[in-house]
A and B are shown apart, each in its own frame.
Chain A
Amino acid sequence: MSASLALPHRARRLRAIPGFGLAFGIALFWLSAIVLVPLLALLLRPFELGLAGLWASLAEPRVAASLRLSFGAALLAAAIAAPLGLLLAWAVVRLRFPGRAVLDAAIDLPFALPTAVAGLAMTALLAPNGWVGGPLGEWFGWRVAFTPAGIVIALVFVALPFTARTVEPVLRDLGRESEEAAATLGATRFQTLRRVVLPALAPAILTGFGLGFARAVGEYGSVIFIAGNMPMVSEIAPLLITIRLEQFDYAGAAAIGLAMLLLAFAVLLALNLAQRALRRGQG
């Protein structure tokens, strides 16, 4: 496990900072043992079904519906969490008000709170007889728990720290000079925000959106209590994986897992490309 592993062609290449071989060995071993080999199993298992079988297993309307729901809800949740995250980041970085430090710390709460606990709490709150669900139902006739809306709310909770925490450092870094420059050039405050601040933050917002989406799309613990789990309506893809597992359909379960992984990758890749285009447009 030395540098030769990484560089088969140049056995003894000189490195500026020593210690690469050992560290790279550890990193590679750790990565392979914990991530790569397990995911390889996920990659290979579905093909036991054969390509046609794999396709049939994924083309089933319920699977398609659950994938649509999982990805749709996650995208929507990330889209809601992005402006909320921007708002929180802005408040924490730019505004001074009592309780700012508490709000700052609270942003990480969904990171630290176990997802099952979050799910239970959300359900307790949003159920038709809960603190929030009750008034919502009584006053507006809205039902949130056990509907896709409940899923989206749970996912917003999960995605929020990702969107807020990616924007925050960039905002902190941005400083006020460019805004001041814009002001001296005669821009109104709104023009400054729209044409100077927002574009500067856009890549970070996009990154946060992507991370929040990635985290939300696979979420299980906090969603399962509140989802309602109705086939074709509020059944998320991870639940379908468990359902398949319970029918002893390992390959089918892995197939959905693989599909989720690939779809998530495609979305993240698209975001990455969009971000690169965004940066290029600015550079």
Chain B
Amino acid sequence: MNATEDPLWFRALLVALAVLTGLLLLALPLAAVFTEALRRGGEAALAAILEPDTLAAIRMTLIVAAISVPLNTVGGLAAAWCIAKHDFPGKRLLVTLVELPFSVSPVISGLVFVLIFGLQGWLGPWLQARGIQVIFALPGLVLATLFVTFPFVARTVLPLMQDQGRAEEEAAATLGAGGWQIFRRVTLPNIRWALLAGVLLCNARAMGEFGAVSVVSGHIRGQTNTMPLHVEILYNEYQFAGAFAVAALLALLGLVTLAAKAVLERWSGRVAGEAG
């Protein structure tokens, strides 16, 4: 027996415990979603998804994600690049601020935009006078989603960037490359898989956000409902199978995200492994 190998019974116990935790805490809720969704059969579930209001919610969710994820990717990359590759006063503060939205309750995340853009808020009356609708419309949904998904890209990419150090970027600088060239040709290729994983997580969260979006949505059927909000609406209409069908669709998106992320990680690991 290896010196650092635990006895078989102990390892078996650990595996059993881990698998049990995984089953109880992770797999069971998922199973519940799919079981409930299929309670009235696959066709009923499909019909619920193909209903116009549901399709509108799916469309809204995709639009919100399509706007907010790229924005957060650019911003997150810029912040991570500054933090990992440059020195400047207040760097620690920037790191903390980037992580801040993680510790803010989603309800507050929605509330802050109501406080600013609401009719009782700072900019509301001015905006309304000009016919600009921010909250209870797409911009509000995007803002709330941006806030909630803010740290994902930066946080996934930053450790890797810091780990890789600055030597390659400095080498590129001495070879005459400009900032954008360095970023695009040296930094980005080195972090692309981590970046993609971060973008995927960001996307999953953007599509699944409930609390913050709920505050700023206005819940107009077929217009400002996203999928998670539509789940709640269907649920409140006693269309449980429909609610869980949409929930299952969301869960499926999440699962695809996870699978893609796992594949990415394995792939990048293999690429690195092959090269080394």
Contacts and interface: CB of A to CB of B under 8 A. Distances in A.
Interface residues of A, number: 91
B121 to A, nearest CB: 7
Given A19-B180, A120-B243, A260-B105, A109 B254 contact: yes
B268 interface: no
A92 B106 CA distance: 31
B231 interface: yes
A65 B180 CA distance: 53
Contacts of B106: 115, 218-221, 238
B82 A27 contact: yes
B141 interface: no
Nearest to A20: B86
Contacts of A221: 106, 210-211, 228
Given A238-B211, A261-B108, A41 B116 contact: yes
B255 A112 contact: yes
B115 A241 contact: no
Secondary structure of the B side of the interface?
helix
A242 B107 contact: yes
Contacts of A261: 103-104, 108
Interface in A135-188: 156-157, 160, 169, 176, 179-180, 183-184
Contact of B82 (A23, A42, A97, A110): A23
A128 interface: no
A69 B97 CA distance: 26
Nearest to B108: A257
Contacts of A238: 105-108, 211
Residue among A99, A117, A125, A218 facing the most chain B CB atoms (10 A cut-off) = A117
Contacts of B103: 214-215, 217-218, 261, 264-265, 268
Interface in A83-140: 84, 87-88, 90-92, 95, 97, 99, 101, 103-118, 120-122, 124-125, 130-132
B17 A116 contact: no
Given A22-B179, A31-B94, A156-B25, A41 B122 contact: yes
A18 interface: yes
B213 to A, nearest CB: 10
B42 to A, nearest CB: 19
Interface stretch (B48-56, B125-133, B143-151): B143-151
A221 B228 CA distance: 10
Contact of A220 (B29, B102, B107): B107
Interface in A20-52: 20, 22-24, 26-27, 30-31, 34-39, 41-42, 45
B11 interface: yes
A192 B3 CA distance: 11
B26 A107 contact: yes
A257 B111 CA distance: 9
A141 B135 CA distance: 46
A274 interface: no
Bin the interface of chain B by size.
35 or more
Contacts of B97: 31, 35-36
A97 B15 contact: yes
B229 to A, nearest CB: 8
B98 interface: yes
A15 B35 CA distance: 58
A109 B36 CA distance: 19
Contact of A30 (B22, B75, B120, B231): B75
Nearest to A183: B3
Contact of B88 (A6, A26, A106, A264): A6
A113 B251 contact: yes
A182 to B, nearest CB: 9
Given A16-B170, A20-B88, A88-B18, A31 B210 contact: no
B210 A19 contact: no
26 contacts: A20-B179, A22-B78, A23-B82, A30-B78, A38-B113, A38-B147, A41-B116, A91-B15, A97-B15, A97-B19, A106-B26, A106-B27, A110-B26, A112-B253, A113-B29, A114-B250, A114-B251, A116-B228, A117-B247, A117-B251, A156-B25, A192-B4, A221-B211, A238-B108, A250-B120, A260-B105
**Leading 8 A-B pairs by shortest Cβ distance:** A19-B179, A218-B105, A114-B208, A112-B254, A30-B75, A91-B18, A214-B103, A38-B112
Interface of A: 6-7, 15-20, 22-24, 26-27, 30-31, 34-39, 41-42, 45, 84, 87-88, 90-92, 95, 97, 99, 101, 103-118, 120-122, 124-125, 130-132, 156-157, 160, 169, 176, 179-180, 183-184, 189, 192, 211, 214-215, 217-221, 237-238, 241-242, 245, 250, 253-254, 257, 260-261, 264-265, 268
